[in-house]
Chains A and B, each alone.
Chain A
Amino acid sequence: MADKILDIPLSEEEIRSLHVGDVVYLRGPIYTSRDMGHFTLKQYLDEGKALPVDFNGAAIFHAGPVVKKRDDGGYDLVVIGPTTSIRMEPYHEMVARLGVRGIIGKGGLAEDSLKQFAKSGQVYFQAAPGCAVSLAEGIEKIDGVYFLEHGVPEALWILRARKFGPLVVGMDSHGKSIYAEIRKSADARNKELYG
């Protein structure tokens, strides 16, 4: 079967057609954002400041790259892979309000995000953890950067993806989370073993 490639911006219809376990690749601009990025975007929204990029239909990537600065002032991507997503759980409402459709990371988000996904038409994509070299192969180049004052990992990097993945749908817009299901059965197993 041919690889399923989704173009960014992502439509609600496309996102709602995805289910837990589906494997996809992404093409188009991907924005990195993690703790300080989310924190800063929230400040921008609270203060009514103009956002640096358009998040409608966007895919955000919980990640901070290794980059190399070129002589012309631009940046080349060295490697990039997912960071642990749960730290961004408190921002689920804001991320939905921005219009973000796809969230890429590792380890999944929690119950509030899952409810938000159903309401707003969003999904969570699990990237292979610790696979920064192979994931970087799917990125053509870096198109720009904002918030660099927070340091390289926390900045908002605009990555141009040619075929980014593979990504497994870990949480969908139909109330299903692979992480919640595994946790439930694992808890039962622990009880069976040790009471």
Chain B
Amino acid sequence: MWNVESMGKIVDDMIYRSTTTISPDVRALMEKAFAEETNDTAKSMLQAMLENERMAGEKVKPVCQSPGFPTVYVSFGDKSLPGCDLKKVWAEALVRGTNRQLLRPSMVHPLTRENPGDNSGVGVPNFEIDYVPDQEYLDMLVSFKGCGAELANAMQIFTVAKLEKGNDYAGLKRWVLDAVIKGGGKPCPPAAIGIGLGGQMDVACKLARKAVSVRRWDDVNPDPLYGRLEKELYEAANSLGIGPAGTGGKTTLLAVKIEGASTHTAIAPAAITFHCWTARRAGVRMYPDGRVETTL
């Protein structure tokens, strides 16, 4: 089991990894996009991004000046309890990361905009905790998601008619592409989108954030319908011509991730969360015998 010190070290390392590099799945997708891009401006933009990411790792500097907003996804079972106050450990580690200039002090009061200067604050980081009784390990993943991307997010309570179910959900697809178009260069494309379906408004929004934060961007959705929609929307979005930085090209999205939950028969909630190309995230799997594996 872990205590404040041993857990603190693991968390410090997660913050270090997730701020000075992007996750390996996303780096590989960026390299593939660079190889396949045909627009000159887009190609040089992708090259600059890859070069910047490499320099950040070498110089031990943040990939991006904005650390975005941190959410920590945690799951554990009866035999893999954290054994210490995880929220406290993370809150303190964020302050340490700020003092090491890995994180810019960006957290402010929602109305007064007062900035304590160290990324401390109510609800920072956000935690999404899942209790899975039989799970024999503790999974922990941090996602620092940039907030320019948040300006492109969308949420709508659809209905059967508005989904255009009879036309292979054309209503939903048009709405998704419309959000990508309105987003333009704002979410730092090449971006990824998480689409949350079902529940009520809160559920759809959390699923959207989780889909794009927790899943590998190169995975395939095991659900055949969601998998088919992910592929179609990915290809459709990349035919819009928005491109890296929003200045043209065929690389607009690196991934589309859909997660669903059941909903009420009267409604079809849908939410879209945008994620910039700087996928600053890190994950670990921790076993009760002390083993720690890197999952992302």
Contact = CB atoms under 8 A, between A and B. Distances in A.
A87 B181 CA distance: 17
Nearest to B54: A133
Contacts of A80: 65
Most B C-beta atoms less than 10 A away, residue of A64, A68, A126, A129: A129
B101 A183 contact: no
A166 B245 CA distance: 13
Interface stretch (B184-192, B194-202, B222-230): B184-192
Interface in A60-114: 63-68, 78-81, 83-84, 86-87, 106-108
B66 interface: yes
Interface string B165-194: 001001001100110111011111100000
Interface residues of A, number: 50
Interface string B216-251: 000000000000000000001001111101111000
B51 interface: yes
B104 interface: yes
A190 B174 contact: yes
B115 A78 contact: no
B248 A178 contact: yes
Interface string A30-47: 000001100000000000
A107 B65 contact: no
Contacts of B148: 83-84, 106-107, 129
Contacts of B126: none
A193 B239 CA distance: 10
Contact of A182 (B146, B184, B277): B184
Contacts of A186: 177, 180-181, 240-242
B185 A66 contact: no
Contact of A126 (B52, B108, B245): B245
A187 B51 CA distance: 32
Given A79-B61, A133-B59, A195-B170, A128 B104 contact: no
Given A36-B113, A182-B241, A189-B240, A126 B247 contact: yes
A131 B49 contact: yes
B64 A108 contact: no
A152 B151 contact: no
Main secondary structure, interface of A, reads mixed
A179 B181 CA distance: 10
Main secondary structure of the interface of B (DSSP, over half): loop
A18 interface: no
Most chain B beta-carbon contacts within 10 A, residue among A136, A168, A190: A190
Contacts of B278: 130
A131 B246 CA distance: 15
Given A65-B65, A132-B63, A152 B185 contact: no
Contact of B115 (A83, A152, A183): A152
A21 B245 CA distance: 13
A150 B113 contact: yes
B115 A86 contact: no
A120 interface: no
A154 interface: yes
Nearest to B150: A84
Contacts of B236: 193-194
Interface of A: 21, 35-36, 63-68, 78-81, 83-84, 86-87, 106-108, 126, 128-136, 150-154, 166, 168, 170, 178-179, 182-183, 185-187, 189-190, 193-195
21 contacts: A64-B66, A81-B65, A84-B147, A106-B185, A107-B148, A128-B49, A128-B245, A135-B52, A136-B61, A150-B115, A151-B113, A153-B66, A154-B113, A178-B247, A178-B248, A179-B185, A179-B247, A182-B243, A189-B240, A193-B173, A195-B170
